[in-house]
Structure 1
Amino acid sequence: MTDTTIPATVSPLRAPLEAAGARWAEVAGREVVRHFGDAAAEYQAVRQTAGFAERADRARFRLWGKDPARMLHGLITNDLLKAPAGQGVYAAMLTPKGRTLADLRAFRRDVDGAAELIVDIAREALEGTRDHLKKFVPPMFAKWAEATDSLIEIGVYGPRSAELLAAVLGTEIPADLAEDAFVEPEFAGARLLVAATREAGLEAGFDVFVPAEQAAALWAALAEHGTAIGARPVGFGTLETLRIEAGRPRYGIDITEETIPTEAYQEAGLMERAISFTKGCYTGQEVIIRIAHRGHVNRHLRGLLLADSAAPSPRTPLFNPENGRESGWVTSAAFSPRMGQTIAMGYARRELEPGATVRLGAADGPEARVVALPFGRE
């Protein structure tokens, strides 16, 4: 049987997280740290030095066997087979009708001469991805298993993140590593995968995939070396604020199975990173190509500036003040320290371009200004 899903266990980081003052929340049935008692200080750490976090909001799969890369390549929007060594791929996984089951990062690596893939997804996409792999990955060519509990993800984000990791790992981590590119240093006798990301407020950052047995030691080393530069642990609340400031959609809230990926990616500047228009066939490709030839989608993910309004709930409707019609909805929202006001992302009809205004919740509701993503780009 291919699916060897490991049941959820207590995180090896539970004790050090508790010791650091963790306050808990839940994401897709999994406990995550909401904050460590001072969210403002956590935000400033990522913006000024570095912050580190357990990414319990994420889930992972491992694929191996005869040809795992080719099997996954046929299920995602980007060209995994042409990615050079050390370059991961960001992509969407689609239904045959072009709807989004997951957005993911896939990393090809060699393990003792055999090909292996690490696939990183949002926890909200776990069930759909599992079902899709069961249906479309033949065991003759690739086997797979959930690796969420055996491979822990720790994020290190901020302008001094590379410096902190270099101190902990005893080897240089390139600060200018391209997004989704990765290196594989060793720590405590284990091989890590360190992938570059800009999701945390577009700051330099890295997601470190570490075997569960070494996760607590890595966390302790980050805490010890981080003290010297003012780095500190950060929670999911801070990471969400930074993600929204970066204009990066998250599966389960900004992207769902209702979403065609071009709606989320086109105006957020992620099309080139996520979709190849030259690769061969993949599930859902026909819809994507048809939209590309048509030249537009009917709605786009946009930024919203809300001034001093309270952060609206997801799915709060947006109204066009020119005709009073409902013309979209809010997805993610937070108060932004960088922008000095409440900001949100949401889907708006394509005629509501940056500079337009919308109303929140009702035709006469609070006003919001539509802006380009990422925030501050104007």
Structure 2
Amino acid sequence: MSLASVRERQVHAGARIDSAGETEIVRDYGDGDAEYRAIREEAGVVARDDRAQLRMWGRDPARMLNGLITNDLGRLEDGQTVQALMLTPKGRIISDLRVLRWVDGKEGELLIDIPADALSTILEHLKKYVPPLFARWEVITDGMGALGIYGPNAPTLVSRAIGLASALEEGESAEADVGHERVFCVATKYAGGEAGFDVFGNEAGLTALWDELANGDAVRAHPVGHTALEVLRIEEGRPRYGKELTEEVLPAEAFGAGDSLGRWISFTKGCYTGQEVVVRIAHRGHVNRHLRGLLLGERGPRPVEGTPLMEPDGGKEVGRITSVSRSPRLEQDVALGYVRREITPGSELRIGAEGGATATVVELPFPR
């Protein structure tokens, strides 16, 4: 959700604003390539208007939410965060989310960070499954949001701005102060695998943070729009709500196996919606497709999302493209897509039709 005083600073910096679903985001500041380089080589600051936050409180909000998500809130202490998935009863992905226990809130209160476009779906799910006697929730519509600070210089900038006492690994979090305002900082490598942080706070705190980051002398963060952030996400192979994360997708398809899936799912917690399918796949089965990277080269028009991927001989459809972009790092068009499990990295597929352009399947993240 956007914050008025941060938006004023974005407009002053030359922001070009687009509608994205039900929200408005900054597309770029006039030079998407320079913004991409800022995150790859220095640091960039992105207003995460593509995210929304819920507040959940009541008699036992953690237990209620724990029965609806894949990761375990049972050990969530003040100042910590958990990332998880919300699933349908058939084990399909409703949305990704992060749950934060922020000590600035009331005792036992949870802050839930979600994709803004998933808001109505998640609210409907909570209404269906959570008894108001045990937990209530509301959308934080005014006065709170998030800034993303990404790039090699991000740790230095964030440490200088909010005084982090120690380094954070991906997914770890800490609370700190900007001026007289409390903020919550979560480490992430969402932006191209570069060091980074998502910082949650109220409008006063995030405005002060923006000013501190953007006005440094020797080292500062450059304002960056969502076009560059999307390129970096695709290069890192991070699935996104509405693209790779939909109600047609199983967690093991989007996140594979091992450490990546383990960051999103606890295999030791109690029951939750969709658990039976997740456990059955993990212990006794497999999925029929995987999220892969696709090298598209430089010839021909860029395919659109949803374009089928075909076997080169026979024309059988074996996958579909979900996200596509130009990759400055690889100097060609690249895409993410789901392909059948028998299609191994190194295989070549045809885009759109049996005689279409060639796409080479690769493991994610894309090679550096």
Q: TM-score, normalised by structure 1?
A: 0.92
Query: What residue number does 1:346 align with?
Result: 337
Q: Which moved more, 1:192-201 or 1:215-224?
A: 215-224
Indicate yes or no: 2:225 matched with 1:255.
no
Give the Cα separation in 1 of the matches to 2:295 and 2:344.
13
- Paired amino acid for 2:26: V
Look up the equivalent residue of 1:212 and give its one-letter code.
Answer: E
Give, in angstroms, the shift of residue 23 of structure 1. Answer: 0.9
Q: Which residue of 2 aligns with 1:104?
A: 97
Distance 1:26 1:294 in 2: 44
Equivalence for 1:224:
215
What amino acid sits opposite 2:166 in the alignment?
Answer: P
Q: Does 1:276 align with 2:266?
A: yes
Distance 1:186 1:119, change over 3 A: same
Query: What is the DSSP-based 3-state SS (H/G/I as helix, E as strand, rest coil) of the residue aligned with 1:253?
Result: coil
State the 1:83 CA deviation.
4.2
Q: Judge conservation of contact 1:93–1:102 (CA < 8 Å) in 2.
A: yes
Instruction: Indicate if the aligned counterparts of 1:320 and 1:358 stay in contact, CA closer than 8 A.
Output: yes
Establish whether residue 208 from structure 1 lines up as the match of residue 214 from structure 2. Answer: no
Query: Is 1:179 aligned to 2:170, yes or no?
Result: yes
**Cα distance, 1:270 vs structure 2:** 2.1
Which whole-Å CA distance do the structure 2 matches of 1:234 and 1:329 have between them? 30
Residue 323 of structure 1 corresponds to 314
Equivalent residues in 2 for 1:109-128, closer than 5 Å = 109-111=102-104, 114-128=107-121
Aligned ranges for residues 5-44 of structure 1 at < 5 Å? 11-44=4-37
Shift of 1:213: 3.5
Q: Secondary structure at the match of 2:109?
A: strand
Cross-structure match for 1:71: 64
| Greater CA drift, 83-92 or 69-78 | 83-92
Cα gap change, 1:235 to 1:9, in 2 (>3 Å): closer
- In structure 1, how many angstroms separate the alpha carbons of the residues matched to 2:176 and 2:220? 24
Letter in 1 for 2:204: E
- State the SS of the aligned residue for 1:220: helix
How far 1:166 sits from its partner (Å)? 2.1
**Deviation for aligned residue 1:148:** 4.7
* Identity across the alignment (%): 50
Alignment: residue pair count? 367
Q: 1:174 to 1:157 in 2, by over 3 A?
A: farther
Cα distance change, pair 267–23 in 1 and its aligned pair in 2 (3 A): farther
Point out the more displaced range, 351-360 or 86-95: 86-95
Q: CA deviation at 1:179?
A: 1.5
Q: Name the CA shift for 1:94/1:112 in 2 (closer, same or farther; >3 Å).
A: closer
- Runs of at least 5 residues in structure 2 that lack an aligned partner in the other structure: none
**2:157 is aligned with 1:167:** no
CA contact (8 A) 1:105 1:180 kept: no
Q: What SS is found at the alignment partner of 1:199?
A: coil
Q: What's the RMSD between the two structures over aligned residues?
A: 1.9
Output one character per residue of 1:272-323: Cα deviation in whole Å (capped at 9) or x when no partner. Answer: 1111122110011111122223331011111101111443211011101133
Question: SS of 2:152's equivalent?
Answer: coil
> Quick check: 1:69–1:108 contact (8 Å CA) kept in 2?
no
Q: In structure 2, do the counterparts of structure 1 residues 145 and 112 end up closer, same or farther at CA, with 3 Å as the change threshold?
A: closer
Residue from 132, 142, 145 that aligns with 1:139: 132
CA-CA distance at 1:269 after TM superposition: 5.8
- TM-score, with structure 2 as normaliser: 0.94
Query: Does structure 1 retain, via aligned residues, the 8 Å contact 2:182–2:205?
Result: no
2-structure distance, mates of 1:105, 1:362: 39
* Residues 268-307 of structure 1 aligned to structure 2 (within 5 Å): 270-307=260-297
CA displacement 1:15-40 (0-9 Å, x = unmatched): 11110000112222211001001111
Shift of 1:267: 6.1
In structure 1, stretches of 5+ residues that fail to align are 1-7
Measured in 1, the distance between the counterparts of 2:259 and 2:193 equals 13
